[in-house]
Chains A and B, each alone.
Chain A
Amino acid sequence: MTSDARFVNLKAVGSPVIPDEAIPLVEGDGRFLNDIKLPGMYQLAFLRSQHAHARLNYVDAGKARQLPGVIRVLTGKELLGKVDPFRSMPNRFSGGESIQHWLAVDKVRFCGEAICAVVAEDRATAEDACELIEVEYEPLPAVTDPRLGEQDDAPLVHAECKNNYLIKREYQRGDVDAAFRNAHVVVKRPFRIGRKQALCLESRGCVAGYRESTFTLTVWISHQLPYVVRHYLAKHLRLAETDIRVIVPHTGGGFGQKASIYPEEFVCGYLALQLRRPVKWVEDRLENMVASTHARDQYIELQIAADKNGRILAISSDVWVDVGAYSTYLWSAGMEPLQTAGLMPGPYRIEAMRYRTRGVATNKTPVGPYRAVGRPSASASLELLIDELGRRLKLDPVEIRQRNLIPLEAMPYRNANNLVHDNVNYLPCLKLAVAKSGYERLRKEQHEGKPNGKLRGIGVACYAELTGLGTSTAVGPGTLLQPGRDAVTLRLETTGVLTIAAALPSQGQRIMTAMRQVACDELGMRLEDITSISNDTAAAPYGFGTFASRTAVFGSGATIIAARELRQRILAIGAFLLDVPVADLTITNSVVHTLDRSKSIVLKDLTEKSYFSAKSIPQELNPGFEVTAFYDPKFGSFAGGAHIAVVDVDPKTGEVEVVRYVAAEDVGTLINPAVVEGQIIGGIAQGIGEALLEELVYDETGQPRTMTLADYLVPSALEIPRIELHHANVPSAALGGFKGCGEGSIIGALGSVACAVADALSQHGGDIHEFPATPERVLKGLGVLASTQ
């Protein structure tokens, strides 16, 4: 219990608590990776491949080594035998092994692959030296299209990977053939989503320190998974984990791009050990566009078999993902291919499904995890096809979805992809979005036509997002890395202040604030008496880190368990000091008191006594105020929602404007509603970018054509409309009833905007299958421009 004017219903959980952790950021005192300087620190730059696929005939760094200020030039050959390269994680669906040297040896496989590392006294000198390195490339034929790359006569990116398959899986559940044979209607549709970039505003970076404090290697890194980095640094640099400390400073966005293991930071660590000096590498934006993982880049062919009422009987899909040159380290090349196909059913009741999915290696930057891996394209392709099914059966998009969504009363429901839906408000979300958007009126206005000559489109999309995955549910089917246990340590300090320590870094999700709110309610402490440290392997207990909409669920769950134990310890000592039974005591506003308030002791005095006057307290009552708890939610919990997007398409220019956006979400019990709102709206903005603007373009030789932010367009404040957000939350089965909310909204955004654009074009007999819906594609879809296909 607590009483705080800022709290809703006397609870911190559920209240829009202002996050103290944001104060340094708003005052310009954030300490991001690039802000870290150590005495004697060198700077690192990389020479990168100009070719998509080429043999390296020779690499001559002689002139670069002569440049004043250059400390060391490292080539791939020099690293051979000294460190272990990245080998694709074995996977029961893997097509063959891909070996990624930290610096290319003999061959380069994508534009931007690092060839040499140059250490100099300053970054400009390091970059100057890169230009002095002479490389003779012998260009090789490049693979740039996964559907051509899987042909028998295609060039191979890796000699060991037949047909360039890094991943291939076929799956079937239920009698799909019978469903299609007996269907009243079968609809099918191709779908293409381009390659995109997380585009964290802060790119990657690393400072590696030598013999700082008691550690051989201290690494500050802009990353989502500090303990995973520590584990793999130890493995690859052949150190003990205890020799390494990993610290994550303020991080300017992650979105999955900072959840993989990359060569550059490992080279940085290696060089610090070699040179016995701190070494810093900060990725610049031009590097980031080719050196950090890309996302999406898929071709999907989807079919639905349905009965005469529009009930979906089965789905069948073929998926090709252009996964780039290497299997992304840790996550494997399976992320997009396996999750796209596997999660295709989304929130719909589907008894039978079949898919064939492949991750085909190409000579492009590797594809890795990015916000809501696989789901946005799976969802958008299905939503577009459901609209088509509706048109065939003369059913409105809302009606056909209502007939297929998994209703609460059918839960727990095991879908054809073997995932169990439990406690999720898919139908209420749809009804809420329909009501709040005034859907019928929107349709009426649409049919009346627009006086300005624009085509109005309305898109409805429902989505499911599996969040807070525990040990029983893999992040991706078949991937070896199956995280699911994270710890939080609560420590009551001698001054009565509580410290929460966890290795769950925040990239703006206000995780520390969320855990403080949870602990506040459990312990009855004042919020200002609770602080939090995070992101440092020397200070926080073991955790996998922040990804897959898991952190609030894991961090809060572990906090609850630890807080309950800590509360017992506090009350036991309180009972002794106040000479009352434990059952008579409670804690309010950091004061331990009897229920009738006749006796009390402030927490600060209690902790001070327990530490400094321990002699007077029986030892068995005083085991110390430090509790570590692990939490594993075992199964994940589904979050879900329904989004309605309204767009205006200019048939003359092909420009699409999102004019209205309504979202109804079920994200479980809210910890901090304002933070949740920010997560959801931010995800919608990225989804609108994915639907309309953002695409990394490569030419047929594998040269990237979108190397700057003038070419790769992310939404500005003008492209994002005011988002109208509503909630239909039901608690999950996880401790506290929490669900993850970091990723779901991007799924609904791609689906709803894609459906809205297709809906607009259909009024002129047009259609669109490729996204983002750039003006060119829109005009092709309207038949104004000739289609290339």
Chain B
Amino acid sequence: MSDLTKLTIAQARDAMRKGDTTSAEITSACLTAIEGADALGAFVHHTPEIATAQASAADTRIKAGDAPDMCGIPLGIKDLFCTKGVPSQAASRILEGFKPEYESTITSQLFDAGAVMLGKLNMDEFAMGSSNETSVYGNAVNPWRRAGEETQLTPGGSSGGSASAVAADLCLAATGTDTGGSIRQPAAFTGITGLKPTYGRVSRWGIVAFASSLDQAGPMTKDVRDAAIMLTAMSGHDPRDSTSADIAVPDFEAALTGDIRGKTIGIPKEYRMEGMPAEIEKLWEDGTAMLKDAGAKIVDITLPHTKYALPAYYVIAPAEASSNLARYDGVRFGHRAKLAHGDGITEMYEKTRAEGFGPEVQRRVMVGTYVLSAGFYDAYYNRARRVRALIKQDFDKVFADGVDAILTPATPSAAFGLGELTNADPIQMYLNDVFTVTVNLAGLPGIAVPTGQDAQGLPLGLQLIGRPWEEGDLLNVAYSLEQSAGFVAKPAKWW
């Protein structure tokens, strides 16, 4: 078989089961593709020995019959996941040299199902960023370019390496994490599918924590079917994560009938932002028409507190981050600063954290510290948590009125150039998450699906938001949208 790296999970699974190819062959093709793709900056730690051993074990299982769906599938793993004995440093200098003595629940589940790890993927430091430019490893680069240009574009963030690797066919799929849009925005920027599950659907154990009440891992894949297959393998209750839900995990792939007749799709008027590019507006209208043609009922809805989602997020996420990142103190793991004669423990903490954290992480930790400090806790942190409750109520009302899913743009623009927003005010960068962040605040499942291209040929995506715990239904609507949109474009290889 040719072009093994271009296979979807479903195609690879079926081909391996039929004996048309093996995991060893697909894995080796991916490793070769990765070797030639340094210019993308996607893979930051390579694990070919682990991959080869896992692939061989997977082939034995497949031959014996009865192998799980993910068996033999080569994946990239975001650097935020702790992988035993393999560097896991959240793209931060402060975790340089850290090799966990344990395996995250999600990677354990994937490896138990026979999946293969090709290596660790680039990301924004501690998942804080929307362009993969805050990484200690340097930028990840989007395999897509504007027609006739060589400008390096961002793959989005924070799961930028995951998005770049999947879009460039370096791996069949990748893990991502999403605190404010970090799976969906990069998926939209690179023309792939990215799903953030309902909060509590997948375990957070062993994933470096950013904002614990918002963080959720999910699949980044070449299509909706693969997202369903991979989500099934990642999901489930974990006694080691007290917020993981003890509810049954359905076979999400079985939900993909493509029949959405009678479903009600809400179009929220608040997502029609002032100054929204005409291309995004048109993409949204086209997507709405596709769902309508497929038999869904389209209704206008209102989510009145949408405007306040980003400011609430930029209180809650930094507050939780300042608490979570307090553990990086130079004592138990990672970097410790060289101390001057006479330096005590306070100097050790302060120097270690100043050297170990990049500017964006420092900024967010300090903003979080400020909003939690005495005298400001009520004015900022508690107020933001109240607004968060109102944002969730907006969604509760809409779902109670019979809406099955909500369609919105995934991002306010196509991928932008690396460096274009670096010197801008940080809030310009934060605005990238304007359409995705509400979903994290309300704990809902959301998926980005590529449905079109802009005038310069760059991919554009739409977002579907579902009811809590109903990822199956959500994936089915996404599947219908995918079928109608027929997005098949691929980036031309330049790397």
Query: Do A and B assemble together?
Result: no
- Footprint of A on B, CB under 8 Å? none
